[in-house]
């Protein structure tokens, strides 16, 4: 994030420390034992449960809820982890309102679904607090697999491969494992260092070595990995951010929303994190909402999300949009940036109203400006640097050489969701296991 004398409006400590600390507590309180039993009793335990179909990892939701209802949350956690080894984080960050809970029969009948996400968190948190890791490695196979990227896809792949008895080396370019779980989600969704605690818990399976500070194309190559290992899994995520294609976007005060969120996640003292007085976030997804809400929680006076199409087409769920407006974030739709104005640093952003018609998005001649001393770009990411790893089309990996698999955001079919990345990593591990066993 840009912070220099050229951007005097971006300053730290707009709110006192106690106020900021209160703003960044867990935004969804965990269920206690009684609350969990009551919430579990609302489940119909459907035989053909639509919630299972709606879950990208196909967790047996009625089973784990019944296990909570009968007082065995540890068994419920095992049911969850068997399908989704990062079930604890997914319980915190999954858009359950558009996945399992939207498919819940009670949602259709009453408009009030079973609280599947909170029940999943109750089960996994309970089991983790007791040190339970209910998996044991199979006999060692003597095979080794390289996993590039320690995000949700890579970690899920590594754990499943280790479970089958293979040795795994995970290569991660950042200083910590976790990927977007560590660097890319709002701090109030995952408090108390949970992302790293879950990584440490996952590694209890054994057989997994993580090497940080190692980047594909700089420190290692695909050819080198294939020479050292029997198979390779690529879970490298998306490193690039799309450009605004607006004049002046290189001015001081304009930054990538993902960089802002990553810096916030790694800052021990949030009173030292600079934030503008008038913040504009350009985009319509979860990253845009996370950047906007956290700007407000840090003390920004005016925060506006601007999206180029209609609000119904925003990829951020209705729940997330309501969450943003509840914190005072304004959402403007059908407007696209055309210029960033200011003397060295951003002072205003000029937008054109848009028409989303049958021939695509059209910018009209009608314009308006928003005052801004800080602008965050949250308009999607792309695979910018995948040296000699595969065929790349549309910013995603679409073709792979022999003995190489891919999953998560970098791969075709990735949906920028932790749960989808976990599913792809897990399924790739099963395919790799079949290949390695001949």
CA 318 to chain CA mean position, Å: 17
DSSP strand pairing (391-393 vs 396-399): antiparallel
Domain 33-129 shares a fold with domain 144-239+383-436: no
Q: What is the pTM of this model?
A: 0.94
Given a contact cutoff of 8 angstroms between Cβ atoms, the answer to whether 255 and 2 are in contact is yes
Q: What are 339's two structure tokens?
A: 């210029």
Residues 6+ apart with CB under 8 A from 166: 141, 143, 144, 145, 207, 432, 433, 436
For residue 335, what pLDDT band results from cuts at 50, 70 and 90? very high
Question: What does the mean pLDDT of the chain come to?
Answer: 94
Residue 396 has pLDDT above 90, yes or no: no
Q: What are 392's two structure tokens?
A: 């790349």
Is 151 strand, coil or helix?
A: coil
The CATH number of 144-239+383-436 is 3.50.50.60
For residue 251, what pLDDT band results from cuts at 50, 70 and 90? very high
pLDDT, tens only, 209-223: 999 999 998 999 999
Q: Is 17-25+241-377 a domain of CATH 3.50.50.60? A: yes
Q: How far apart are the first and last CA of the chain?
A: 49
Residue spans per domain, the chain: 17-25+241-377, 33-129, 144-239+383-436
The CATH number of 33-129 is 1.10.1060.10
**For position 238, what pLDDT does the model report?**
87
- Which range, 114-118, 354-358, 415-419, is most confident? 114-118
Query: Which residue bears the tokens 């003292």?
Result: 269
Residues 6+ apart with CB under 8 A from 313: 284, 307, 356
Given a contact cutoff of 8 angstroms between Cβ atoms, the answer to whether 111 and 52 are in contact is no
Q: What are 97's two structure tokens?
A: 């309102």
CA 364 to chain CA mean position, Å: 34
Q: What are 351's two structure tokens?
A: 């937008």
pLDDT, tens only, 169-178: 999 999 999 9
**For position 255, what pLDDT does the model report?**
96
For residue 438, what pLDDT band results from cuts at 50, 70 and 90? confident
- Of all residues in the chain, the percent with pLDDT exceeding 90 is 87
Given a contact cutoff of 8 angstroms between Cβ atoms, the answer to whether 305 and 284 are in contact is yes
Given a contact cutoff of 8 angstroms between Cβ atoms, the answer to whether 6 and 252 are in contact is yes
Q: What are 241's two structure tokens?
A: 């951010």
């Amino acid at each position: 994030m840009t912070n220099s004398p050229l951007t005097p409006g971006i300053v730290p400590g707009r709110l006192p420390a106690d106020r900021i600390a209160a703003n960044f507590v867990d935004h969804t309180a965990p269920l206690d034992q009684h609350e969990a039993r009551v919430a579990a009793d609302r489940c119909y335990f459907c035989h053909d449960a639509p919630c299972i179909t709606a879950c990208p990892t196909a967790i047996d939701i009625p089973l784990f809820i019944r296990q909570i209802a009968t007082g065995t949350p540890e068994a419920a956690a095992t049911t969850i982890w068997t399908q989704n080894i990062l079930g604890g984080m997914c319980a915190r960050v999954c858009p359950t309102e558009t996945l399992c809970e939207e498919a819940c029969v009670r949602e259709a009948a009453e408009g009030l679904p079973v609280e599947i996400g909170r029940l999943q968190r109750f089960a996994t948190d309970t089991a983790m607090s007791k040190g339970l890791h209910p998996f044991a490695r199979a006999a060692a196979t003597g095979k080794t697999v390289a996993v590039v990227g320690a995000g949700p896809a890579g970690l899920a792949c590594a754990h499943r491969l280790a479970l089958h008895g293979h040795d795994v080396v995970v290569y991660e370019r950042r200083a910590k494992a976790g990927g977007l779980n560590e660097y890319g989600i709002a701090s109030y969704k995952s408090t108390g260092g949970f992302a790293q605690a879950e990584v440490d818990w996952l590694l209890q399976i054994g057989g997994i070595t993580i090497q940080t500070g190692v980047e594909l194309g700089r420190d290692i190559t695909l050819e080198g990995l294939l020479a050292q290992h029997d198979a390779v899994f690529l879970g490298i995520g998306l490193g690039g951010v799309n450009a605004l294609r607006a004049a002046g976007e290189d001015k001081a005060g304009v930054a990538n929303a993902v960089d802002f969120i990553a810096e916030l996640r790694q800052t021990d003292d949030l009173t030292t994190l600079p934030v503008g007085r008038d913040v504009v976030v350009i985009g319509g997804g979860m990253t845009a909402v996370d950047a906007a809400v956290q700007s407000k929680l840090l003390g920004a006076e005016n925060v506006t999300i601007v999206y180029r199409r209609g609000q119904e087409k925003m990829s951020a769920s209705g729940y997330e949009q309501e969450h943003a407006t509840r914190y005072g974030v304004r959402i403007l739709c059908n407007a696209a940036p055309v210029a960033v104005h200011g003397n060295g640093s951003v002072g205003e952003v000029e937008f054109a109203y848009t028409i989303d018609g049958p021939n695509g998005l059209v910018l009209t001649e009608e314009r308006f400006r928003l005052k801004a001393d800080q602008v965050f770009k949250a308009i999607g990411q792309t695979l910018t640097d995948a040296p000699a790893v595969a065929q790349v089309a549309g910013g995603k990996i679409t073709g792979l050489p022999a003995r190489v698999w891919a999953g998560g955001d970098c791969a075709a079919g990735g949906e920028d969701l932790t749960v989808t990345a976990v599913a792809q990593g897990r399924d790739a591990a099963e395919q790799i296991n079949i290949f390695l066993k001949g």
